[in-house]
Structure 1
């Protein structure tokens, strides 16, 4: 249920990215869109025709004249709400149980998604507010998941259970990206939000019927399974109450190791999530249908490798070949440092779409190993407060989602065009004594062009950030329960031992 739930969550999150192409009247900003085409890579003859055909809408479907700035604000609105409910969601899930918050978060977001066509018709401000509310609702889902697994997942099965459920997000992105493009083309963009919203509501019905907060209250599992889970987890599976050791958390080096490494990993993830379709459009010149499919390939690879990494990590622990700390550090290093190498390679691919997609897919595939590393480390160092910790780490981890698109926009502007025209105008002034008014050309239009060099810097920056996160975690990370997270029962046992 969690796997499909997070597939729905990411479907609700990314649907606007592809639907925006169909929602906006492309002819309104034609000159601007043409100026965004890379001057480095040749444009295939069929690309412009395919793009215009694939973005056509059935008769009667409204389209809007939103400029690029408005579109960017609408796409980023989700994260404004998403930031604010991470920590409260984790704390309340640890106190009262996560099933209500996870199910309620998905249901609320799904209902709001159904209102997307109406809010778009009312205006961009209404759609911005709606997307922010969707982020507000989804913000509790991942902390609630962590709080639930703290009560359900035996220590030797944590990696496979948590990576499989969390892998639903990659699976959801893989399915949603091409499916959204198909629905937009065949049924019109409003059908995207109606179908995604309906899927979320349907999932929520089954969730509330089938799922319980903890083994003790589940009516359909056997007594043998119930006792096994309860005895394996021990007192760490109990609610943490109202008191939380906030100061101890703030000064916990292992927690900061998780925060820093997740921020670094998320920088690459959100860079691809928000900007990969733009790169494939403006530099590699794939048409809309190719773009939506190829943009989904890295998420398919990440999904498969994250599930496999969870099984492998648990096998290493069950056979006692490695400690929890060693497993988390090795898998985090593989999941952050090796993808950085392939991101570096992408910077050298130039105009080769085949090589670029291959290296990006390999980078995302190896990144799946971190799912069994740093991304489940909260439950290792403080099982009782796992939901709260995930809320804290996810809050910091969302910051790259806000900053990465801005940095990408800055790095991909082709300053060579500006320098060329400035030099040209200065030469004309020197030789022909033209007035200063002559060289007041439209710099914003010129500087909007995307260059291979600019995107190379994007990938290299992501590679450097990811490599730093890997090294930082290897030095400061751990898989041991922290002293401030131990229960009174565990502390007494340690004293007597």
Structure 2
């Protein structure tokens, strides 16, 4: 089917999208849809900053010379306790604190994905971001009352972050033209990679000059302000946005008219559970989140164990892998859309290629980190590459659900995120346990587990992955649970 679509920049070119052929304009990066992607990028930066900041502040919060202390008492002088209190929390308790946010993330994923098709995305994302920020502000106070209250705050934080992360991705069902889906999605989701870079870059300076409690106050206040900005700037449908140009509105709505409708009378649960492509996406999500969570939360501890730096220097070095991961994520999204729009590779080949790069390269560079890093510079290079190359998954498994079932994207994204976040939860918890029990070679075991997960998941994905709409997700499907 050939058709001409109006574009905001007026420049058209012919594109074969696999199952239909149409003309599409060169993207206008000053358009409203790219503005929304940048706004979501900022939201994700704040969400990840709130999640990851404790991985570096923990070095300042805890008396590292007594990792198995029994009390919640401070060990500094009284005048310093007001600014920078220190607690006797064991390594195992620290691991539980860092991983506890995943319990909340797990609980909220599937309900958020389902409700995103019923309730206002504007209210769900904005409210969830505000409440996550509110509980971030409460963490320094919670720490004064004991580790249990900190864990509760982190779980509640995770609950609201899960709502924000799942529902925001449904935005692109109405805002992303088919051949810009990966580019727009990867740009917004790259905030999840830029967030750790930002927080690790400045947290050390904040801890050193203002005290670690100010880290939570600053990122909590930024989140509250950004949630208000979201309520003002975001509109759920292009036709309702007061600032969108007529040409961009027509372009988006005309492009999306070619897709299968995202509305559905009910969920074909049985068919979903019997779908191999959905399960291999979920399995790879497990491996991706396992690696990403471990590298996000424990990079400062790994660097501290290797080089014994102060918190400021540690923060600067820990931010580098996340900076490159963010750059790679944007490149991956752009490359995937270019391959598709120019008909260089089929959609399935693109998904498999980027998943291969995103799971295999981190495994290879992790092995290099263990066996070939004999100096400071080689260690940092391999650590950066192991972290950054995982971002290729942005053009693979992290968008693949939209290929196979666009009608159920919100629900299935929540489902695959649950399995993925289970990997993140297990990873961070197991890492904390191994670090507390193995004094000889804990990092060797931790990295080997990550490598095994990536390789096994990749093999299954290359065999069973699909990129076309599945029969149970088509509009003519009538068999429902």
Per the TM superposition, whether the score is higher than 0.5 is yes
Is 1:21 the counterpart of 2:59? The answer is: yes
- CA distance in structure 2 between the aligned counterparts of 1:287 and 1:119, rounded to whole angstroms: 25
Is 1:200 the counterpart of 2:200? The answer is: no
- Equivalence for 2:471: 483
> Does the residue aligned with 2:118 lie in a helix, a strand or coil?
helix
- Equivalence for 1:221: 244
- Equivalence for 2:42: 4
Q: What residue ranges of structure 1 are gaps of 5+ in the alignment?
A: 33-51, 414-446, 493-497
- Equivalence for 1:274: 297
- Equivalence for 2:318: 295
- Equivalence for 1:48: none
Instruction: Say if 1:145 and 1:387, in contact at 8 Å, map to a contact too.
Output: no
Is 1:455 the counterpart of 2:443? The answer is: yes
Instruction: Say if 2:68 and 2:91, in contact at 8 Å, map to a contact too.
Output: no
Cα 1:127/1:339, change in 2 over 3 Å: closer
- Equivalence for 1:171: 194
- CA distance in structure 2 between the aligned counterparts of 1:13 and 1:261, rounded to whole angstroms: 22
Q: What residue ranges of structure 2 are gaps of 5+ in the alignment?
A: 1-38, 70-74
- Equivalence for 2:130: 107
Cα 1:181/1:221, change in 2 over 3 Å: same
Could you tell me the TM-score, scaled by structure 1's length? 0.82
CA offsets, 1:42-97, max 9 Å, x none? xxxxxxxxxx99xx957554333333333222222211111100011111112334
Instruction: Say if 1:277 and 1:291, in contact at 8 Å, map to a contact too.
Output: yes
> Does the residue aligned with 1:306 lie in a helix, a strand or coil?
helix
CA offsets, 1:108-162, max 9 Å, x none? 1011111222222233222221111101110112221221112211110011101
- CA distance in structure 1 between the aligned counterparts of 2:252 and 2:182, rounded to whole angstroms: 15
Instruction: Say if 1:22 and 1:57, in contact at 8 Å, map to a contact too.
Output: no
Instruction: Say if 1:58 and 1:188, in contact at 8 Å, map to a contact too.
Output: no
> Does the residue aligned with 1:487 lie in a helix, a strand or coil?
coil
Residue 6 of structure 1 and its aligned partner are, at CA, apart by 0.4
- Equivalence for 2:364: 341
Q: How does 1:62-461 map to 2 (within 5 A)?
A: 62-234=85-257, 240=263, 243-349=266-372, 352-409=375-432, 411=434, 448-449=438-439, 451=440, 453-461=441-449
Residue 201 of structure 1 and its aligned partner are, at CA, apart by 0.9
Cα 1:201/1:215, change in 2 over 3 Å: same
- CA distance in structure 1 between the aligned counterparts of 2:333 and 2:420, rounded to whole angstroms: 21
Instruction: Say if 2:264 and 2:407, in contact at 8 Å, map to a contact too.
Output: no
Instruction: Say if 1:97 and 1:147, in contact at 8 Å, map to a contact too.
Output: no
RMSD (CA atoms): 2.5
Cα 1:23/1:409, change in 2 over 3 Å: closer
Could you tell me the TM-score, scaled by structure 2's length? 0.84
- Equivalence for 2:460: 472
Instruction: Say if 2:96 and 2:429, in contact at 8 Å, map to a contact too.
Output: no
Residue 280 of structure 1 and its aligned partner are, at CA, apart by 1.6
> Does the residue aligned with 1:479 lie in a helix, a strand or coil?
coil
- CA distance in structure 2 between the aligned counterparts of 1:59 and 1:405, rounded to whole angstroms: 30
Instruction: Say if 2:204 and 2:313, in contact at 8 Å, map to a contact too.
Output: no
Cα 1:107/1:235, change in 2 over 3 Å: farther
Instruction: Say if 1:265 and 1:469, in contact at 8 Å, map to a contact too.
Output: no
- CA distance in structure 1 between the aligned counterparts of 2:458 and 2:357, rounded to whole angstroms: 8
Residue 411 of structure 1 and its aligned partner are, at CA, apart by 5.0
> Does the residue aligned with 1:185 lie in a helix, a strand or coil?
helix
Residues matched between the structures, number: 434
Instruction: Say if 1:331 and 1:370, in contact at 8 Å, map to a contact too.
Output: yes
Instruction: Say if 1:170 and 1:299, in contact at 8 Å, map to a contact too.
Output: yes
Instruction: Say if 2:173 and 2:262, in contact at 8 Å, map to a contact too.
Output: no
- CA distance in structure 1 between the aligned counterparts of 2:96 and 2:338, rounded to whole angstroms: 45
- CA distance in structure 1 between the aligned counterparts of 2:64 and 2:120, rounded to whole angstroms: 47
> Does the residue aligned with 1:460 lie in a helix, a strand or coil?
helix
